[in-house]
Structure 1
């Protein structure tokens, strides 16, 4: 079963992206957009923990989704949690984007909680209202600086941003845009805050661990090596205090066995000069005690710290004997399938090669004299002249002179003084095969009526002699052939002569003669010593 799942999963690619965080005030509207900008087939939203799909909007619904957007109208404290949008693309690629939502209550004396802050480029003077594009037909009603209405000629206001003319240190602070969003006739408040710093080297943001998620579980093998990565956003531009580290059972890694544990840290800036640190914990060998340990990533800056805990568990162990048996069975099936295909494609060559190498022959005499009796049309057309040349010259040269067969050909092996009907019947009965030459003249030729009658009677009624049909020219649909011939053609087909009527003899290794030799009996050999005696 695991092989089927593996093959099936090979048709799809699943990519999990870094989570984004959204903070909102309780009672405000919140509209979240799934991150991918490229074209897609459809998007599905669901609760990450419960896996419950978030449906489309219904009458009276407060939380709903449509395509890339997820609505909370309005937000409630119970909306806090993790959400996932699954994007399905036309090329069967599926991507997951994780979103964290935190709804904050209003507190007396606090206008805008510190958590609802978005980073901003420093020193440029342009401040864009965060998430405004997610709200269709929204209208900004007021801008605030440090919770006070923004006024003055130095502030140039547009639809979704303000521009500060010649910003200085006195303009540093928190800028909040408050706007009204209307949906189905209902109006909702929305507010979002950005940090603006004119000339400072850095600005602070609450430390946020992007991965791993809290209480992540990582599967491991005992004795194997493992690397655990932790990445955190710590502010805008390089921070004076920026620490991302790992603790094992609340003990810093530097206090552990350095030969088995060590950390590797790198720092970088991302979009809008956001400052990140990423620390990788390298474990050279997983031991049993590690399965009971808590691995905790800790991110610290001047605003405080945050943590994310990871635990280890053993990978599901496969039943190796059973797996080997299944693999062996699948390999055997593949070998059989390939062998069948090869045999069907090269059946004629394989049989002829086997006869040539091992030279099998019948020890017991079957009482036959001839390997094949040849039936052909006799008329005076140019095509019949070629057929006569083929029957009397080409056919004996290849089958008798090169391959060692013995043929019975009317006009060559039946003496004029013999009773024709009796001679034909006896020769056919003494032949192991019947070779019937098919041309347009053979369809209604009366000279062949008796030959065909005796030959087909032996082949179909007595089941005594096998028939080889040589189609010297294209007959067509075979509708005018007698029913018994059509039956044989339906069962085994014909061997078609590809050369033009004036064609010359082909090699016995050509495709035509290989098929003739394949249908001929084994070369009938007997003991030379017995013949000599």
Structure 2
């Protein structure tokens, strides 16, 4: 009673839970009030022939069911008929087949059911049918072959979706002529659902409804694609002479059975070189995609292999498709050299920066002494002094010999050894001159200002906040932007009690701490302290006779 309809993937009749010779008790279902005809599963056995008798019994009864056609339950032409079925008909029935030398029995379990409330079907009594999207499909109304009218003509079938008519107005849905089916021209996901077919069967002058309900499931169709090369793609590859290489060709498509093959110089590869042996393969991929391929090994690349293109072919739909690959000698790779050179250059620059940071002062001093004389004569800046020296005069309470440093050691190194011209307040000024005027004038005539600091603020005789000298110095520094060199004779932990001008200069320029003593060995311009001072001093054009004099 069940055949695989064209255009559908599968039909699973729920109403026949077991309808074959292997079932012990075969289940059968029918809607109450509708007629049905049950066939005996064993009559299809190959061992049976035309000389057999088939008899139906109510299970547990030895009396055969009547053959009277007017009886509601009767057997006719090997079928057990219920016209119509009633709820009390549910139960077990037995069919017995007798031949010349043996007999066979089978038990049938009939269940007469009602539809679910408010529906035209029972959710457990449906045929499952599957169609694929984007294809044409059919909805089959099955098992109607026993319900033709007296003229052996299939009666008219009425269709419903979810128990409602009118869905056939969709132009994609067409009644299949001569078949108990609906043809769906282009299946979409919206076509899934419950479809009920209903016909009227006339028997002995009375009409009965016969219905079937199908649960239609829509599955996504596998991707249909035109075959195309995955590899090669008319490309070249670089291989070394004498190396081993695998030449592989693969094609993706929506069909199985493609046979790609290799050719070179218009002949098969194994004819071109007997050591080449092709191997074919085919693999299934998700979504119905197939990958077909062929490959061969070149165990040792020879010079002749560089001269030809290797062509891969396949034939599909009477057309030949071709793609090639060509072997080439490797191009010398300079990328590694460029990367190595770049890394080396970066490392060298990094090393130079480290060396410069460590030896910056020595490099600058060497440059001044070695290269400045070669740069020609420098345009005069109108300055007279290289530095204006400002220091605290010693008082009785001061423990630091700032006078000795400012009046003896500083001139010894910067003037006599290095050739600088200093204006030292307290040494070069004349008695009776206006302090503010002298300070302002000499600072404007100087390229640098050297301020010598000691830890005790009480030792500052010229840098107190209220002093006129301090105001003149501060104004000159702010207005002219002259570079300041702070020298600490001892470590100064806290600048909180220092004049505001000193704190400003310390924050902007920093300070150089004196690390020597007042002995002769501390008077050498080549010590680290004096190198720092000379680094912050302007360059000199002409040096003295001393080896430590710098050229500007």
- Shorter chain as normaliser: what TM range? 0.3 to 0.5
* TM norm structure 1: 0.39
Structure possessing the higher radius of gyration over alpha carbons? 2
